A and B are shown apart, each in its own frame.
Chain A
Amino acid sequence: MVSDTIRGLLEQTFPDASVDVVDRTGGGDHFHVTVGSTSFEGLSLVEQHRLVNRALAEPLADGSIHELRITTKGNPTHDAA
């Protein structure tokens, strides 16, 4: 499952993170990831999203992620709702 791969890559890059991966369409290639990590503190939104994009560079490049929505939060204990 691509969503498991995505979760694994994000947890590997952001060890303290709370990670939420939603398959938006059920088709296994449109995802919304929400990552809460202290790694984001003090970074601009562009820098925060760059870190997420880099963590997912491989599935983005090989096309297994067709569409990616990103929400980042500085606090790992975020409310997923």
Chain B
Amino acid sequence: MTLRDEIQQVIDGEPVAIFMKGTPERPACGNSLRALQALWGAGAPITAVDILPDPRIRQELSALTDWPTIPQVFVKGELIGGADITEELFASGDLGRKLDAALGADREQVVKTVVLAATPA
């Protein structure tokens, strides 16, 4: 499986995916942290991919999504935006409503990290 396939699989397969700098435990960028906090505040389950270990992750991701910056947040395969939009949607309550509609209101809030197999260890 190519790196691009792996990225697509995370986007399509995870309820809420965030491609970020660092991990939820150790965010390496203020914008990734802002997006995480908004997702957490809205009660989202979070699947995180750290893009820093291999520059190709970011290249492939941006080529796939036509979105130049990090983080990138997806709900059920749909790009909802970067840190600014995610924060904006949280502040307006739209993020919670979107999650309710996509995942149900009684969703479990778990956080996990996916390491892409094509990434050198």
Contacts and interface: CB of A to CB of B under 8 A. Distances in A.
Interface residues of A, number: 13
A80 to B, nearest CB: 16
A70 interface: yes
Contacts of B79: 46
A49 B85 CA distance: 9
B93 interface: no
B85 A53 contact: no
- Which size class do B's interface residues fall under? 10 to 19
B69 A50 contact: no
B88 interface: yes
A9 interface: no
B31 A45 contact: no
29 contacts: A45-B81, A45-B85, A45-B88, A45-B89, A46-B79, A46-B80, A46-B81, A46-B85, A49-B81, A49-B82, A49-B84, A49-B85, A50-B66, A50-B67, A53-B67, A53-B68, A53-B69, A57-B68, A60-B68, A60-B69, A61-B68, A67-B31, A68-B69, A69-B31, A69-B83, A69-B84, A70-B82, A70-B84, A71-B84
Closest 5 pairs (CB-CB, A-B): A45-B85, A60-B68, A46-B81, A70-B84, A53-B68
